[in-house]
C-alpha cells in the first residue's frame, strides 16, 4: 500500500461520525473538551513545559492536566477560569442555535485562533483562544 492510499485522521473520523451514531453523540458532546485540550497542548508546546510543569503552574496535579489533554470530558467553568487566569489564555465560547451566525466572535478570531467547532442539527459550538 502506498502512503498516498492511506486515509487521514480527519477522513477516518468523518467516516466514523457517519457510520456510528454513538460515536457521533460522544464527539458532539465532547467538542468543548477537545478544543480546550488543543489549546492546552499548544500552550505547553509553545512554552516547552511538561504536564507536571504546567500542573505546578496552574495549581493542579499532573493527572488532572493529562485528563484535560485527553479531551474526553468537558472542563468545568471553574477549570476554564483557573487555566485562563494562570496561563493568560482567553477562551471564547460561542454556543448558538444551528444555522445562526456567530455574533460574539470577530472573523479574525474565528479563523486565526479557532481550536474547536462542532455542529448538530440543533446547535453549534465554536471555541477560540487568544
Q: What's 32's domain CATH number?
A: 1.10.260.40
| Three-class secondary structure of residue 130 per DSSP | coil
121 within some domain: yes
Residues 6+ apart with CB under 8 A from 102: 94, 96, 110, 126
Beta strands in the chain (DSSP E): 91-97, 114-119, 123-129
60 within some domain: yes
pLDDT of residue 112: 56
3 within some domain: no
Please report which confidence band the pLDDT of residue 106 belongs to, taking 50, 70 and 90 as the band edges. low
2 within some domain: no
| Three-class secondary structure of residue 121 per DSSP | coil
Query: Which residue range(s) make up the domain with 95?
Result: 9-129
pLDDT of residue 2: 75
Please report which confidence band the pLDDT of residue 37 belongs to, taking 50, 70 and 90 as the band edges. very high
4 within some domain: no
1 within some domain: no
The pTM of the full predicted model, rounded to 2 decimals, is 0.78
What is the rounded (10 degree) CA torsion for 106, 109, 112, 115?
-140
50 within some domain: yes
If one counts the domains in the chain, the total is: 1
119 within some domain: yes
Amino acid at each position: 500500500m502506498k502512503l498516498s492510499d492511506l486515509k487521514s485522521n480527519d477522513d477516518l473520523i468523518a467516516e466514523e461520525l457517519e457510520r456510528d451514531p454513538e460515536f457521533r453523540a460522544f464527539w458532539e458532546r465532547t467538542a468543548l473538551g477537545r478544543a480546550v485540550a488543543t489549546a492546552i497542548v499548544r500552550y505547553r508546546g509553545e512554552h516547552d513545559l511538561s504536564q507536571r510543569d504546567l500542573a505546578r503552574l496552574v495549581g493542579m496535579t499532573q493527572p488532572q492536566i493529562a485528563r484535560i489533554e485527553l479531551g474526553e470530558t468537558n472542563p468545568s467553568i471553574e477549570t476554564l477560569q483557573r487555566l485562563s487566569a494562570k496561563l493568560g489564555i482567553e477562551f471564547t465560547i460561542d454556543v448558538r442555535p444551528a444555522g445562526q451566525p456567530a455574533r460574539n466572535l470577530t472573523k479574525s478570531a474565528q479563523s486565526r485562533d479557532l481550536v474547536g467547532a462542532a455542529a448538530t442539527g440543533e446547535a453549534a459550538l465554536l471555541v477560540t483562544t487568544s
